[in-house]
Amino acid sequence: MFVFKAAVVGAGTMGGEIAQVIAAASVPVVLKDVKQEFVDTGLAKAREVTEGKLNGLVAKEKLTQEQADEQLEGTLGLLTGTTEYEGFGDVDFVIEAVPERMEIKQAVFAELDDLTPGHAILASNTSALSISEIGSATSRPENVVGFHFFYPASVMRLVEVIDGDLTSEDAAQAAVNFVMQIRKNPIRCGEDPGFVVNRILNASVSEIWRHQDESGRSVEEIDKEITDAKAAPMGPFYLTDLLGLDTVLHVAQHLRDSYGDRFYVHPKMVELVEQGNLGQKSGQGYYTHGEGS
């Protein structure tokens, strides 16, 4: 199946950039959130990312300014926003990127089941929830699949395609093809906790969280040591702030519950989430974000 039109539900940390990736691959895309201000933030993120990429190409003399301006207009022209599922009646592929809570995802999938054409594939960007359980909220679980991007979606090349128990081979293959259509690299995974990437990533990050907790050293000091050693572009605590503490905590708890104590849940992260401090998106996490910080 070729995707002529797509949609993204949820315009937060992931959704705006996912919509940008789709539009940049010349596929029209509708971005939906619950409030106009969230839609606008997602669309602004898509514009900022597109401009940044095109400016980079102009600086490297791979594009003229005129070509960049034309491409910017072309990409942004393919992006529309809605708070009411407007434009979902003729989509071929939907990617849901709403908060990592089963009841919210199932409610969205039930709505999508009613509002999209029967052939449309309904995909979830979930980091850890069961695709089979999400799919059970629809009348077409065979067309429900996991479609897991990595942060930041406009940069990271990999997308995990996850089969639920009832996902059809046709739907999984269509999802793999769509990953390539939007110029990313697909891998197929089973519905195992953490899929592939988070299972590997969290195994090592768990040890850093554990070390911080046991040693009492500051998160700033540990992050700095890691970046100074050029082991990673940023330390794990700062990265967690960018990803969203609620999302990272959910994945960490899911891995610990599934595989035992070799996966660690950082107590400070639990405390911060309980206080509503979710990282960059709320202005406070392990670090303070925003102007002057």
Binding site for ligand NAD (CB under 6 A): 9-15, 32-34, 38, 97-100, 104, 108, 125-127, 148-151, 243-244, 247, 281
Q: Which of 160, 250, 254, 266 is catalytic?
A: 160
Q: How far does Cα 246 stand from its chain's mean position?
A: 13
Q: Which of 127, 130, 143, 154 is catalytic?
A: 127
Nearer to ligand NAD, 39 or 171 (CB): 39
Q: What share of the chain is helix, strand, coil (3-state, %, to 5)?
A: 50, 15, 35
Instruction: Work out how close the CB of 63 gets to ligand NAD at its nearest, in angstroms, rounded to a whole number.
Output: 29
**Residue 160 among the catalytic residues:** yes
- Cβ proximity to ligand NAD, 3 vs 251, nearer residue: 251
For residue 228 the two structure tokens come to 């100074």
- CA dist 224 and 227 (Å) reads 5
Nearer to ligand NAD, 42 or 141 (CB): 42
Hey, what are 51's tokens? 């401009």
Residue 65: other Cβ atoms inside 10 A: 10
DSSP codes of every residue in 195-241: TTHHHHHHHHHHHHHHHHHHH---HHHHHHHHHHTTSSSS-HHHHHH
- Closest distance of CB 96 from ligand NAD, Å: 8
Q: Tokens representing 55?
A: 């400016």
Q: How far is the CB of 221 from ligand NAD (least distance, A)?
A: 24
Shortest Å distance, C-beta 104 to ligand NAD? 5
Out of 125, 148, 206, 282, which one is annotated catalytic?
A: 148
Verify whether residue 127 is a known catalytic residue.
Answer: yes
Q: Does the annotation count 198 as an active-site position?
A: yes
Which H or E element spans position 129? none
| Residue of minimal Cβ distance to ligand NAD | 12
Which one, 104 or 231, has the nearer CB to ligand NAD?
Answer: 104
What is the full DSSP assignment across 268-293? HHHHHHHTT--BGGGTBSSSB-STT-
Which residues carry out catalysis? Answer: 127, 148, 160, 198
